[in-house]
């Protein structure tokens, strides 16, 4: 240890933790401050509708849609990614926001992992891949850092991904949430009035309770449910295209009927869907004519119909 001489100023500590690699325009507190502050900050009370705090409006984005599920691993990110590309293939302008701080998978699934640049107006410019504007917490900070965020930290990051990003004019902003009913969903609904939420589920009867939890959370937060998407619904034989119902049939459909929400379609359980995500070229981008991509296209078309019928569109401000 060396003591400072009289009049000598202390040099700033060199960056020594993974936060050093965080995006320079990420204003949420980083590095050791994150863990230090995080341990002193109590997590805010969960699931209280606080619409009065919603002061991000994003008027140039027509539909802001969260993709959620009651439990993990059901295919939210896969659905969010392929749905976004299906909507773009149908002519829409689409942004995809990966709000899963605890396991951002959109960078891998879209095959891009780099730090976004900043405009002269100090707005973060989303990356573009497969015609989709992309932002992810994974582009901004190393995964191990975001993993420890809770409450206020997470809230700050979500707000910044919405308001400090130059999204431009979009028809859709699809927002991929982490599983369950936690801080991110709360922060998002507190920050921005959403057009609605999509619930992804698998067909088993046991998934019913998870869907119920998801639906209940969004109802409490005052966010309309736009529909249920059943993923891994059936196995499609790659040789003869025969469908095999591996799990109980139509669980998602029955569930959506039970909750009185729209059923937007079924996505097959398929090795190609999984591989495509792993290699960073989602199936709808790599094989747009495949039956799997058609299934995503059907979901996109159904969603469009639901939105048109419900008239839940925000005004598109022409600048
Ligand atoms: N229809 C499908 N057919 C085959 N594999 C699939 C399908 N949907 C998703 N998968 C695979 O299942 C795994 C989990 O999918 P994904 O990451 O999309 O789920 P998630 O709900 O976003 O998970 P998490 O809750 O961890 O965020 C991934 O490996 C993905 O490629
Ligand atoms: Mg995911």
pLDDT at position 74 is 93
Average pLDDT, the chain: 83
* Higher per-residue confidence, 13 vs 310: 310
The residue whose C-alpha atom lies closest to atom 19 belonging to ligand 1 is 75
What secondary structure letter does DSSP report for 124? B
Helix (H) or strand (E) holding 264: strand 263-269
Residue 277 has pLDDT above 60, yes or no: yes
* Higher per-residue confidence, 138 vs 26: 138
Please tell me the pTM assigned to this model.
0.84
Per residue in 177-233, pLDDT (tens digit) is 998 878 889 899 989 999 999 999 998 877 778 888 889 899 999 999 999 999 998
* Residue 55, phi then psi, degrees to nearest 5: -120, 10
Residue 316 has pLDDT above 60, yes or no: no
Ligand minimally distant from the alpha carbon of residue 74: 1
Tell me the CA–centroid distance for residue 172 and ligand 1, in Å: 22
Cα(300)–Cα(65) distance, rounded to whole angstroms?
12
Cα(36)–Cα(153) distance, rounded to whole angstroms?
11
pLDDT at position 7 is 54
Helix (H) or strand (E) holding 139: helix 137-140
Per residue in 50-73, pLDDT (tens digit) is 444 678 999 999 999 999 998 899
Substitution candidate for ligand 1 out of 210, 237, 274 with most atoms within 8 A of CB: 274
pLDDT level of residue 286 (50, 70, 90 thresholds): very high
Q: Is residue 174 within 8 Å of residue 65, measured between CB atoms?
A: yes
* Higher per-residue confidence, 117 vs 203: 117
Q: In the CATH scheme, what is the homologous superfamily, with its name and number, of domain 60-310? A: P-loop containing nucleotide triphosphate hydrolases (3.40.50.300)
Substitution candidate for ligand 1 out of 67, 73, 108 with most atoms within 8 A of CB: 73
Q: Which residues pair with 134 in a beta bridge?
A: 96, 127
Tell me the CA–centroid distance for residue 79 and ligand 1, in Å: 8
Residue 318 has pLDDT above 70, yes or no: no
pLDDT above 70 covers what percent of the chain? 82
* Higher per-residue confidence, 305 vs 51: 305
Residue 9 has pLDDT above 60, yes or no: no
| Ligand 1 first shell, C-beta below 6 A | 69, 72-78, 100, 103, 105, 178-179, 231-232, 267, 269-270, 273-274, 277
Per-domain boundaries in the chain: 60-310
Three-class SS string for 43-61? CCCCCCCCHHHCCCCCCCE
Report the atom number in ligand 1 closest to the C-alpha of 277: 31
The residue whose C-alpha atom lies closest to atom 9 belonging to ligand 1 is 75
What is the three-class DSSP state of 30?
Answer: coil
pLDDT at position 308 is 93
Cα(8)–Cα(13) distance, rounded to whole angstroms?
15
Substitution candidate for ligand 1 out of 78, 211, 245 with most atoms within 8 A of CB: 78
- Report, in angstroms and rounded to the nearest whole number, the Rg of the chain calculated over CA atoms: 21
Per residue in 122-176, pLDDT (tens digit) is 999 999 999 999 999 889 887 777 777 777 888 888 999 999 999 999 999 999 9
Q: Is residue 209 within 8 Å of residue 215, measured between CB atoms?
A: no
The residue whose C-alpha atom lies closest to atom 14 belonging to ligand 1 is 73
pLDDT level of residue 75 (50, 70, 90 thresholds): very high
Tell me the CA–centroid distance for residue 267 and ligand 1, in Å: 11
């Amino acid at each position: 240890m060396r003591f400072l001489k009289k009049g000598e100023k202390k040099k700033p500590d060199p960056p020594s933790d993974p936060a050093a690699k965080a995006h320079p325009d990420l204003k949420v507190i980083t590095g050791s401050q994150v863990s230090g502050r995080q341990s002193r900050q109590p997590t805010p009370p969960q699931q209280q509708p606080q619409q009065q705090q919603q002061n991000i409006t994003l008027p140039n984005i027509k539909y802001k849609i969260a993709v959620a599920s009651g439990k993990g691993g059901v295919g939210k990110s896969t659905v969010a990614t392929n749905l976004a590309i299906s909507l773009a293939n149908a002519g829409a302008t689409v942004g995809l926001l990966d709000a899963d701080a605890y396991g951002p998978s959109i960078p891998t699934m879209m095959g891009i992992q780099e730090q976004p640049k900043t405009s002269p107006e100090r707005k973060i410019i989303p990356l573009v891949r497969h015609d989709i504007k992309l932002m992810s917490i994974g582009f901004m900070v190393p995964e191990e850092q975001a993993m420890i965020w809770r409450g206020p930290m997470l809230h700050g990051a979500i707000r910044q991904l919405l308001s400090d990003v130059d999204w431009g004019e979009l028809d859709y902003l699809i927002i991929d949430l982490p599983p369950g009913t936690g801080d991110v969903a709360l922060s998002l609904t507190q920050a921005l009035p959403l057009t609605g939420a999509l619930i992804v589920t698998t067909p088993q009867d046991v998934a019913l309770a998870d869907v119920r939890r998801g639906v209940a959370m969004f109802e409490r937060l005052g966010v309309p449910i736009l529909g249920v998407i059943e993923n891994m619904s059936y196995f499609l034989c790659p040789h003869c295209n025969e469908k095999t119902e591996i799990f109980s049939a139509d669980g998602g459909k029955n569930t959506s009927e039970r909750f009185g929400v729209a059923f937007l379609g079924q996505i097959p359980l398929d090795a190609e869907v999984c591989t495509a995500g792993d290699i960073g070229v989602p199936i709808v981008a790599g094989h747009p004519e495949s039956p799997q991509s058609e299934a995503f296209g059907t979901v996109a078309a159904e969603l469009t119909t639901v939105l048109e019928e419900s008239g839940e569109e925000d005004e598109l401000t022409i600048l």
